[in-house]
Amino acid sequence: MELQVYPGKQEAAEALAEQLSEWAREGSVEHLALSGGSTPEILFDTLAEDYWFRLPWKELQFYWGDERCVPPDDPQSNFRMTREHLFDPLPIPDKHIHRIRGEANPESEAQRYADLLKKQLPAENGLPRFDLVILGMGDDGHTASVFPHEAHLWDSPELCAVANHPDTGQQRVTLTGGIINNAARIVFLVTGAAKAGRVAEIVGQQGAGGNYPAGRVAPRDGRLIWILDEAAAAGLPPEMW
């Protein structure tokens, strides 16, 4: 596990943008899965504003780690946020954007997306392999849309599953642990004081970190990088960073 801590969320986002641009320019990232929620907005804005000419945008294929089961223009849609902050401003061909259809029947969509991943991605260890999976972590330790109350979904033999938000019951379609942990690189981008407790448990291995879905992220033979801001890292022992 590699740990990178930056003063604030802007610096953390810039660091990930820079590393992504290096990997893309050297040709080691083509297929990448994006996270949703609010944290990646700043990453996408940074990429759209400062990396127009510094990434081979037309060579990248975009996927998602999870999607809320809402229409693609809904305020809650991970695709909508990404389109507004990343795809609209940049020259990305529509055929390279492989969204999870939040408006479809969740069970059929989980199956369709799993089939698409099998078709699109190279295989390694008998599973499709992403070059890069970008993940966020919720305050409750969820990642993608595998929540603590449905942690068994992490071990699903299927590549994608239907999940339910613990408070709202909103359905989600999510990647499961097998395909996430098969990625060549997994990068967590986590910022803000609200995440510090879970970061201390999972990254600092204080307590029951391994019980959270985010604590189950452990690439089989790839790299795992946690990119934090100081607020999220505040519960980690100083010698770690």
Which one, 15 or 144, has the nearer CB to ligand LXAUTJHC?
Answer: 144
CA distance 75 to 239: 41
Tokens for 30?
A: 């083509």
Count of Cβ atoms closer than 10 Å to residue 53 Cβ: 6
160: region left, alpha or beta (phi > 0 left; psi from -120 to 50 alpha): beta
Q: What residues make contact with ligand LXAUTJHC under the rule CB under 6 A?
A: 35-39, 65-66, 78, 135-138, 144-145
Residue in the shown chain whose Cβ atom is closest to ligand LXAUTJHC: 37
Q: Measured from the CB of residue 35, what is the shortest distance to ligand LXAUTJHC in angstroms?
A: 4
Instruction: Note whether 154 and 211 are within 8 A (CB).
Output: no
Q: Residue holding tokens 């991605």?
A: 121
Q: What are residue 190's DSSP bridge partners?
A: 228
Q: Measured from the CB of residue 166, what is the shortest distance to ligand LXAUTJHC in angstroms?
A: 11
Tokens for 168?
A: 């709202």
Which one, 35 or 46, has the nearer CB to ligand LXAUTJHC?
Answer: 35
Q: Measured from the CB of residue 107, what is the shortest distance to ligand LXAUTJHC in angstroms?
A: 18
Q: Measured from the CB of residue 190, what is the shortest distance to ligand LXAUTJHC in angstroms?
A: 7
Which one, 124 or 140, has the nearer CB to ligand LXAUTJHC?
Answer: 140
Which one, 92 or 144, has the nearer CB to ligand LXAUTJHC?
Answer: 144
Which one, 18 or 140, has the nearer CB to ligand LXAUTJHC?
Answer: 140
What are the residues whose beta carbons fall under 8 Å from the beta carbon of 53, sequence distance 6 or more? Answer: none
Q: Measured from the CB of residue 74, what is the shortest distance to ligand LXAUTJHC in angstroms?
A: 13
Which one, 145 or 181, has the nearer CB to ligand LXAUTJHC?
Answer: 145
Can you state the percent helix, strand and coil of the chain, rounding each to 5? 40, 20, 40
For residue 146, the SS3 value is: strand
Q: Measured from the CB of residue 49, what is the shortest distance to ligand LXAUTJHC in angstroms?
A: 20
Q: What are phi and psi for residue 21, nearest 5 degrees?
A: -65, -35
CA distance 33 to 108: 20
